């Protein structure tokens, strides 16, 4: 019903994915399949709402309207069976900004903060940038499937870690963590008094019948130590509008977070982003269902194509979102040779696996949130070099 096949020229729109190619890859002559936004138009309900707000013509100071919170509360109740109280809700321009903000609130200089590698690069840089000690618990990889190394995870928690940054679902390995896995992680954090920052920005994009579980919805104990970050930005392709929802049921953590965000004067937000968020959560469900079907087809297509045509590259289907974690370790090329071939022979812009942690060596991340014609072109290019 919605047209995800339309190829839209994004060049010259100050778009990171296209207009920063030269900076990232040393050349503009590549097909960009890196930065995690999609090449699709946002749903008509969002475009209409933003247009209406634009037509009003006065763009003065704004604040997040109650309706937006109501829409969010209903959205997560229906989708995740999660009961959020209005007074638990705060905000942040982006999910990433909320990470250092929370680190600053809840830990002190030099404290240990845990992440599960390979993981989204800002998890690493936020911890380091705040002058905290980065502790890594590498995920266990078996035949392309990633899981928690429970002994390592618990040993790290025990070692004096103060905060754990969870990626739920996981970028880049594509795991939609199961309820059991989350419960076990959450209970261990509770046992060792470790606060959880649960980045759930990819929640709405669980694919192939996988169900997203909100970490904080598992129990009151886990909720009491968890800061949850969600957003309509990945789901509805509105990352450039900058708006996310932060949910904190602990009054102490919430008041500390709110103090920080209002000190930075980041609490008012952006007029268009509020309008977009409200429209997304009230009217966006139908578009989202179509999008997910389209993404599933893209994933299936990539899997078939790679399996049949590029034996040097291994792909395991992600359980959610639009990012493929491609394994080049059996290609016969070193990591740097793969990188060089991707840019210079395939003329493809993928994310370097090493930016997600040292166990990302031999991997590159490919964004397939694009019309199938673009994805097909990307795969043909990949085949040229491998």
Ligand X SMILES: Cc1ncc(COP(=O)(O)O)c(C=O)c1O
Out of 30, 31, 36, 45, name the contact with ligand X by CB under 6 A: 36
Contact, 162 vs 112, CB < 8 A?
yes
Of 310 and 354, nearer to ligand X (C-beta) is 354
Out of 71, 76, 96, 207, name the contact with ligand X by CB under 6 A: 96
Of 204 and 341, nearer to ligand X (C-beta) is 204
Q: For residue 63, give Cα distances in angstroms to 60, 66, 86, 166, 274.
A: 10, 9, 15, 29, 8
Out of 106, 115, 163, 239, name the contact with ligand X by CB under 6 A: 239
CA distance 236 to 203: 12
Of 104 and 376, nearer to ligand X (C-beta) is 104
Any contact of residue 199 with ligand X (CB under 6 A)?
A: yes
Any contact of residue 231 with ligand X (CB under 6 A)?
A: yes
Q: Angle, to 10 degrees, between the axis of helix 179-191 and the axis of helix 150-158?
A: 20
Q: Which of 165, 159, 182, 160 is nearest to 121 (CA)?
A: 165
CA distance 109 to 104: 8
Residue 208 in tokens: 């192939």
Long-range contacts of 335-339, Cβ-Cβ distance < 8 Å, separation of 24 or more = 335/361, 335/362, 338/362, 338/364, 339/364
Of 69-77, 88-96, 332-340, 350-358, which segment contacts ligand X by CB under 6 A? 88-96
Min separation Cβ 367 and ligand X, Å: 9
Residue 189 in tokens: 């954090």
Out of 49, 71, 194, 201, name the contact with ligand X by CB under 6 A: 201
CA distance 55 to 145: 49
> For residue 363, how many C-alpha atoms fall within 13 Å in the half-sphere facing its CB?
24
Of 7-15, 78-86, 90-98, 190-198, which segment contacts ligand X by CB under 6 A? 90-98
Per-residue binding string, ligand X, 141-170, x by CB under 6 A, is --------------------------x---
Any contact of residue 204 with ligand X (CB under 6 A)?
A: no
Out of 171, 217, 235, 359, name the contact with ligand X by CB under 6 A: 171
Residues 297-316 contacting ligand X, CB under 6 A? none
Out of 233, 235, 273, 331, name the contact with ligand X by CB under 6 A: 233
The pairing of beta strand 348-349 with beta strand 351-352: unpaired
Long-range contacts of 141-145, Cβ-Cβ distance < 8 Å, separation of 24 or more = 141/173, 141/359, 143/316, 144/314, 144/315, 144/316, 144/327, 145/316
Per-residue binding string, ligand X, 248-287, x by CB under 6 A, is ----------------------------------------
Any contact of residue 94 with ligand X (CB under 6 A)?
A: yes
Contact, 93 vs 218, CB < 8 A?
no
Q: For residue 197, give Cα distances in angstroms to 11, 183, 282, 309, 350.
A: 35, 15, 26, 40, 27
- How many residues bind ligand X (CB under 6 A)? The answer is 13
Of 71 and 385, nearer to ligand X (C-beta) is 71
Q: How many CB atoms lie within 10 A of CB 179?
A: 13
Of 41-49, 74-82, 94-102, 210-218, which segment contacts ligand X by CB under 6 A? 94-102
CB closest to ligand X, residue no: 94
Any contact of residue 95 with ligand X (CB under 6 A)?
A: yes
Min separation Cβ 201 and ligand X, Å: 4
Min separation Cβ 359 and ligand X, Å: 17
Any contact of residue 38 with ligand X (CB under 6 A)?
A: no
List contacts with ligand X (CB under 6 A). 36, 94-96, 120, 167, 171, 199, 201, 231, 233, 239, 244
């Amino acid at each position: 019903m919605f047209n995800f096949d339309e190829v839209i020229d994004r060049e010259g729109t100050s778009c990171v994915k296209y207009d920063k190619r030269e900076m990232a890859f040393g050349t503009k002559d590549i097909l960009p399949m890196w930065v995690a936004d999609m090449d699709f138009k946002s749903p008509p309900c969002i475009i209409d709402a933003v247009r209406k707000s634009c037509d009003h013509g006065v763009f003065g100071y704004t604040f997040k309207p109650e309706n937006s919170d109501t829409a969010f509360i209903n959205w997560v109740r229906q989708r995740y069976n999660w009961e959020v109280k209005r007074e638990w809700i705060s905000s942040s321009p982006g999910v990433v900004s909320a990470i250092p903000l929370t680190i600053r609130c809840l830990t002190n200089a030099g404290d240990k903060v845990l992440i599960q590698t390979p993981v989204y690069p800002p998890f690493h840089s936020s911890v380091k940038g705040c002058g905290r000690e980065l502790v890594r618990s590498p995920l266990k990889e078996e035949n392309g499937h990633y899981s928690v190394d429970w002994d390592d995870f618990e040993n790290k928690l025990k070692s004096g870690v103060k905060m754990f940054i969870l990626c739920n679902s996981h970028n880049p390995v594509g795991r939609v963590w199961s309820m059991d896995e989350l419960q076990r992680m959450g209970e261990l954090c509770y046992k060792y008094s470790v606060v959880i920052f649960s980045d759930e920005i990819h929640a709405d994009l669980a694919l192939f019948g996988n169900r997203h579980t909100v970490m904080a919805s598992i129990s009151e104990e886990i909720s009491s130590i968890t800061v949850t970050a969600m957003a309509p930005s990945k789901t509805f392709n509105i990352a450039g509008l900058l708006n996310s929802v932060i949910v904190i049921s602990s009054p102490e953590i919430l008041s500390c977070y709110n103090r920080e965000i209002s000190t930075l004067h980041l609490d008012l937000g952006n007029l268009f982003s509020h309008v977009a968020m409200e429209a997304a959560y009230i009217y966006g469900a139908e578009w989202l269902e179509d999008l997910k079907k389209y993404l599933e087809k893209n994933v299936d297509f990539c899997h078939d194509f790679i399996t049949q045509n590029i034996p040097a590259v291994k792909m395991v289907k992600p359980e959610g979102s639009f990012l493929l974690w491609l394994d080049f370790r059996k290609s016969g090329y070193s990591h740097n040779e793969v990188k060089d071939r991707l840019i210079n022979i395939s003329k493809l812009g993928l994310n370097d696996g090493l930016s997600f942690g040292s166990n990302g060596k031999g991997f590159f991340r490919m964004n397939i949130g694009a019309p199938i014609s673009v994805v097909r072109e990307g795969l043909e290019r990949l085949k040229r070099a491998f």
